[in-house]
A and B are shown apart, each in its own frame.
Chain A
Amino acid sequence: MTDGGRIFDPGLQPERTALAWRRTGLAVAVGAVAGMRVLTPALGAGAVVVGLLGLALATLLVVGSMRRARRVEVALLRDHCLAAGPGGRLVATVCIACTAVGVAALVAVLAAHAAR
């Protein structure tokens, strides 16, 4: 993430932040695939739907964070601050998605136990 070889910070903070976003996206992707595998006996074809939703979320995260990283880079190299940088939209989206996954997980676990 250099612009013609220029970097903003020798500590590579923007790059580390972009990588943190990416590994969060990858964690979602791995979780989606593992979830699809683990939930297949219980949900059948429904597990594929869960997996695809998870992969869509992971894609949104990775693509969204790449755009975000680009915006950070442009703002830092031009202004040396983040006044024109990204706000918290992706941050809020991730929170809402994560909470929704949690509610779904809670409902699924309780329903599975009740059905047993």
Chain B
Amino acid sequence: MTGHCGALGPMSSPVASRRFPRWVFGEGSEPDPRFTLANERTFLAWIRTSLALLACGVALEAVALPMQPQLRLAASVLLIVLGLLTPVQAWFAWSRDERAMRQGRPLSAPSLMVPLTVGTTATGLLLLAALLLR
């Protein structure tokens, strides 16, 4: 092994410290690379979730489906707000979990699960009401 694996500590190698952000990669030891890659794919799945939420929110208003306009707008705004929260949480979850893996600590639970479930359910109910009240 010719790399800079293992514990870094205060004598951390310049190669490791160059990785961004410093507060994630500056300490701890390299985890199993498969875990780092899995963390990255989880991040990307959240980003695609965000893109889907944003696309739905914009499409609802852009296509102007025949629905009660106020309720349709509310559903659209709710979808977009959820789509805005998702990338923020994706960044914090990715960096927090990468840091935890480097320090051998347990991973945190995803903090957006409940708001996302409640939010998408509320969107469904709003759209149902918008269809019935048009």
Per a CB cutoff under 8 Å, which of A82, A92, A106, A113 touches B33?
A: A82
Do the beta carbons of B5 and A109 come within 8 Å of each other? no
* Chain B, Cβ-Cβ closest to A83: B4
Do the beta carbons of A109 and B80 come within 8 Å of each other? yes
- Report the interface size class on chain A: 35 or more
User: What CA separation (Å) do A88 and B4 show in the bound complex?
Assistant: 18
Q: Is the interface of B mostly helix, strand, loop or mixed?
A: helix
Do the beta carbons of A34 and B55 come within 8 Å of each other? yes
Q: Which of B79-132 contact A (CB under 8 A)?
A: 80-81, 83-84, 86-88, 90-91, 94-95, 98
B residues within 8 A CB of A109?
A: 57-58, 61, 73, 76-77, 80
Kindly provide the distance from the CB of A34 to the nearest chain B CB, expressed in whole angstroms: 7
User: What CA separation (Å) do A103 and B44 show in the bound complex?
Assistant: 19
* Chain A, Cβ-Cβ closest to B24: A88
> Can you identify 13 A-B contacts, CB atoms within 8 angstroms?
A13-B34, A27-B52, A31-B54, A35-B55, A72-B37, A76-B33, A83-B13, A84-B15, A85-B33, A102-B80, A109-B73, A109-B76, A113-B69
With contacts A109-B73, A110-B77 taken as known, whether A78 is within 8 angstroms of B30 at the C-beta atoms is: no
Q: Which residues does A use to contact B, with CB under 8 Å?
A: 8-9, 11, 13-14, 16-17, 20-21, 23-24, 27-28, 31, 34-35, 38-39, 42, 72, 75-76, 78-89, 91-92, 94-95, 98-99, 101-103, 105-106, 108-110, 112-113, 116
Q: Is the interface of A mostly helix, strand, loop or mixed?
A: helix
B residues within 8 A CB of A92?
A: 20-21, 91
Do the beta carbons of A27 and B48 come within 8 Å of each other? yes
User: What CA separation (Å) do A11 and B38 show in the bound complex?
Assistant: 12
Do the beta carbons of A80 and B84 come within 8 Å of each other? no
User: What CA separation (Å) do A95 and B49 show in the bound complex?
Assistant: 12
Do the beta carbons of A17 and B40 come within 8 Å of each other? yes
Do the beta carbons of A38 and B59 come within 8 Å of each other? yes
User: What CA separation (Å) do A84 and B2 show in the bound complex?
Assistant: 11
